[in-house]
């Protein structure tokens, strides 16, 4: 009996040792096919915000971020975890020479923005390229798992993901659900509604809300005029403003505006456009849920 | 500037700007470091070989080709405000590229140059069909302007319908050297063969500059020269636009500046325009990279900022 137990212990140790020696090697599927990395990256450069959220979720700090040269675009709670970093320029045209000067051992890029420079990035460091811009809520979570696996933190990330799902369930329980909630981002001359196929729409759905139908073709983002907004007539309107005053502020003076159900019920709210539209990630989604809990508690 | 000294001085300026663009950027490299090229302890091989060098080469090629195209068009249309942009070539390329980007957002970015080149060719063909076999200068210019405006309106329309794809399209439409590398240099090299071909047109273009009657009586086949010059201009600017997007005002300004520096004789004007175009695009790209690093401002925005006031000044002067 004693011997048998010992044998099992030894076996466990051997198995764990084998797993440990392989844990630094990871193979994942990215947008360009199979991505293999046989070390745990220490110097990571990240070219979209959603990947920063994924790294922060497992406590990893990137050395460089394409932050549009504006550190405030990274969520405060993400900043608290990752500490300081070097800006590598805009997300749309990151500076490859700054990336190269950081001597990264992993670059995480967005297939939508950075496919044109994928080969150049690979000359600097192994490049994991995944969807970020225009991704849905579920795609974002899947991408986070891929990032976690690639940096050798699969277990930690999956644990964080389970925690995230539980948190979102808890938030959902505090919210009324079933209300038709519409989120949109307003610029000076354009209101863009985020449908159920957009990131914010996915978060709203996860929290039990209903997304009004804003597009026949199922487009993720729909630019909308005041008349269409009235036709959609959501119970709650939540706006983020990229510019202030925006087109929505101009509408306040129009007679049609006062016909909106959300306006009549005093259910028009402002949230941080950066958090709701640009950030995308588990921490962003949790912040959005907190925003909603606060909004619904106040009214 | 003394005409004989002109070309060597311009060439020297190109060389100086190339060296400057090696040294300056978000990560400055001192000259002493650059001179270590090829040595084992050279620390900036990616930045220099894969980033700044191909960009500088591209700036010279694209700037030169677009400017040469402008000089050819101004030569045959005999209007100082003419350029490939005015003829609708750039906007034709832009329209097809924007349609492609919005219709196939998932497609590879590598296909854009080919699509844009096709767009230039289609715009040129349409222009040719509309002006008929024996185009007068005015007819060419006016039809070109109308086509350019029409294409520009179509571009706006397509982008308004698909606001989410605008970013990618806009990025290309502003004209930029960002993200370009040796692949694009290879794409451009065959088109460079057209530059010596353009120099064959020096004599007839000089005669055509007198006026059409005189040129004809001196034995110039005017329709042929016109067709050849315009076809060359379409290919040169089409290839440039395909790789970098339409870089505004380059084809217009470079020949002008050259004419002021070196005079109107095409044996100096054509090669001079090539060099001035190279200088302008090298400069624009350099300014865009160093003005607010690590943010990269597209070269097309810099040329537009430089070019728009020049264009206005030109308009007032001509009046």
Give residue-wise pLDDT tens across range B194-213: 999 999 999 999 988 888 88
Say what the pLDDT of residue A1 is.
44
Give residue-wise pLDDT tens across range A71-126: 999 999 999 999 999 999 999 889 999 999 999 999 999 988 888 889 899 999 99
Mean pLDDT of B175-194: 88
Query: Measured between beta carbons, which residues in chain A are less than 8 angstroms from residue B298?
Result: 93
Q: Does A121 touch chain B (CB under 8 A)?
A: no
Domain membership of residue B12 (yes or no) is no
Q: How many structural domains comprise chain B?
A: 1
Q: Which of A98, A119, A190 lies closest to B294 in CB terms?
A: A98
Quick check: B52 and A97 CB within 8 A? yes
Q: How far is CA B27 from CA A113, B22, B37, B200, B295, in A?
A: 23, 10, 17, 43, 12
**Domains located in chain A, CATH noted:** 25-154 (3.40.50.1980), 168-298 (3.40.50.1980)
Q: Minimal Cα distance from B50: which residue of A?
A: A120
**DSSP states of A43-90:** SEEE-SHHHHHHHHHTTPPPSEE--TT-GGGS-HHHHHHH---EE-B-
pLDDT-based confidence at B166, cuts 50/70/90?
low
Say what the pLDDT of residue A134 is.
84
Quick check: B50 and A120 CB within 8 A? yes
3-state helix, strand, coil in chain A (%, to 5): 50, 20, 30
Quick check: A94 and B294 CB within 8 A? yes
3-state helix, strand, coil in chain B (%, to 5): 75, 0, 20
**Among A170, A111, A103, which residue's Cα sits nearest to residue A146?**
A111
Mean pLDDT of B206-224: 85
Q: Does A200 touch chain B (CB under 8 A)?
A: no
Q: Minimal Cα distance from B52: which residue of A?
A: A97
Q: Does A241 touch chain B (CB under 8 A)?
A: no
Closest-CA distance of chain B to residue A219, Å: 10
Domain membership of residue B184 (yes or no) is yes
Quick check: B26 and A90 CB within 8 A? no
Q: How far is CA B289 from CA B35, B55, B295, B302, B305, in A?
A: 22, 11, 7, 10, 15
User: Which residues fall within 8 angstroms of residue B153, CB to CB, at 6 or more apart?
Assistant: none
Q: Which residues of B touch A (CB under 8 A)?
A: 25-27, 44, 46-47, 50-52, 105, 108-110, 163-164, 167-168, 171, 176, 178-179, 181, 183, 289, 292-296, 298
| Token pair 């026949």: residue | A216
What's the CATH number where B166 sits?
A: 1.10.3470.10
Give the structural domain span for B203: 55-318
**Under a CB-based contact definition with an 8 Å cutoff, are residues A30 and A128 in contact?**
yes
Q: Residue A86 burial (CB < 10 Å; 0-12/13-18/19+)? A: middle
Query: Measured between beta carbons, which residues in chain B are less than 8 angstroms from residue A123?
Result: 46, 50
Domain membership of residue B247 (yes or no) is yes
Domain membership of residue B26 (yes or no) is no
Query: Measured between beta carbons, which residues in chain A are less than 8 angstroms from residue B163?
Result: 190, 192, 221, 223
For residues B252, B97, B109, B48, the Cα torsion angle rounded to the nearest 10 degrees is 0
Say what the pLDDT of residue A26 is.
86
Query: Measured between beta carbons, which residues in chain A are less than 8 angstroms from residue B187?
Result: none
Report how far residue B65's alpha carbon sits from residue B50's, in angstroms, rounded to the nearest whole number. Answer: 22
Domain membership of residue B194 (yes or no) is yes
Instruction: Walk along chain A (299 residues) in steps of 10 and give the mean pLDDT of each run.
Output: 56 56 74 92 96 95 95 94 94 92 95 87 94 91 95 94 96 91 93 93 94 85 91 94 92 93 94 94 96 88
Q: Does A221 touch chain B (CB under 8 A)?
A: yes
Domain membership of residue B113 (yes or no) is yes
Domain membership of residue B15 (yes or no) is no
Q: Which of B46, B176, B294 lies closest to A69 in CB terms?
A: B294
Report how far residue B73's alpha carbon sits from residue B82's, in angstroms, rounded to the nearest whole number. Answer: 6
Domain membership of residue B174 (yes or no) is yes
Quick check: B51 and A96 CB within 8 A? yes
Mean pLDDT of B96-104: 84
Closest-CA distance of chain B to residue A118, Å: 9
Number of neighbours of residue A187 by Cβ within 10 angstroms: 17
Quick check: A190 and B296 CB within 8 A? no
């Amino acid at each position: 009996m004693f011997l048998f137990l010992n044998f099992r212990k030894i076996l466990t140790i051997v198995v764990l040792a084998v797993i440990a020696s392989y844990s630094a090697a990871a193979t994942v599927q990215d947008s360009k096919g199979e991505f293999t990395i046989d070390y745990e990256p220490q110097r990571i450069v990240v070219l979209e915000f959603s990947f920063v959220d994924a790294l922060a979720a497992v406590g990893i700090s990137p050395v460089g971020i394409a932050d549009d040269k504006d550190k405030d675009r990274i969520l405060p709670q993400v900043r608290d975890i990752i500490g300081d970093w070097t800006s590598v320029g805009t997300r749309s045209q990151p500076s490859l020479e700054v990336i190269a000067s950081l001597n990264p051992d992993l670059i995480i890029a967005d297939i939508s923005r950075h496919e044109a420079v994928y080969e150049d990035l690979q000359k600097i460091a192994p490049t994991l390229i995944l969807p970020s811009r225009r991704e849905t809520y579920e795609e974002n979570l899947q991408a986070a798992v891929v990032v976690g696996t690639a940096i050798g933190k699969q277990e930690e990330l999956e644990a964080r993901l389970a925690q995230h799902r539980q948190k979102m369930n808890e938030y959902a329980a505090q919210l009324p659900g079933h209300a038709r909630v519409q989120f949109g981002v307003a610029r000076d001359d354009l209101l863009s509604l985020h449908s159920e196929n957009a990131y914010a729409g996915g978060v709203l759905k996860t929290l039990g809300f209903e997304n009004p139908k804003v597009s026949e073709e199922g487009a993720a983002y729909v630019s909308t005029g005041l008349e269409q907004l009235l036709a959609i007539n959501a119970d709650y309107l939540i706006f983020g403003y990229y510019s202030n005053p925006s087109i929505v502020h101009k509408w306040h003076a129009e007679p049609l505006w006062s016909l909106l159900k959300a306006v009549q019920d005093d259910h028009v709210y402002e949230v941080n456009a950066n958090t709701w539209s640009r950030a995308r990630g588990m921490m962003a989604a949790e912040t959005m849920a907190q925003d909603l809990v606060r909004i619904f508690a106040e009214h | 500037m003394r005409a004989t000294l002109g070309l060597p001085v311009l060439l020297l300026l190109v060389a100086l700007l190339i060296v400057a663009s090696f040294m300056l950027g978000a990560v400055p490299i001192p000259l002493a470091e650059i001179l270590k090229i090829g040595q084992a302890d050279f620390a900036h091989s990616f930045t220099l070989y894969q980033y700044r060098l191909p960009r500088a080469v591209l700036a010279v090629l694209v700037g030169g080709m677009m400017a040469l195209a402008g000089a050819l068009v101004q030569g045959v249309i005999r209007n100082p405000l003419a350029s490939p942009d005015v003829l609708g070539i750039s906007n034709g390329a832009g329209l097809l590229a924007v349609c492609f980007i919005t219709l196939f957002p998932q497609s590879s970015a590598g296909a854009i140059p080919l699509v844009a080149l096709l767009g230039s060719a289609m715009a040129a063909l349409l222009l040719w069909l509309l002006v008929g076999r024996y185009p007068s200068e005015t007819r060419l210019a006016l039809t070109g302007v109308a086509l350019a405006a029409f294409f520009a309106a179509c571009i706006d329309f397509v982008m308004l319908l698909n606001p989410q794809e605008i970013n990618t399209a806009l990025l290309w439409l502003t004209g930029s050297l960002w993200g370009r590398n040796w692949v694009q240099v290879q794409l451009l090299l065959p088109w460079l063969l057209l530059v010596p071909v353009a120099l064959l047109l020096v004599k007839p273009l000089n005669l055509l500059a007198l006026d059409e009657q005189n040129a004809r009586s001196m034995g110039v086949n005017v329709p042929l020269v016109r067709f050849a010059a315009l076809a060359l201009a379409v290919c040169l600017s089409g290839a440039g636009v395909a790789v970098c997007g339409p870089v505004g005002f380059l084809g217009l300004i470079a020949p002008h500046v050259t004419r002021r520096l070196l005079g109107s004789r095409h044996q100096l004007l054509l090669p001079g325009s090539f060099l001035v175009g190279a200088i302008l695009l090298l400069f624009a790209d350099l300014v865009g990279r160093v003005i607010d690093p690590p943010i990269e401002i597209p070269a097309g925005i810099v040329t537009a900022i430089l070019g728009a006031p020049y264009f206005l000044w030109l308009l007032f002067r001509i009046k």
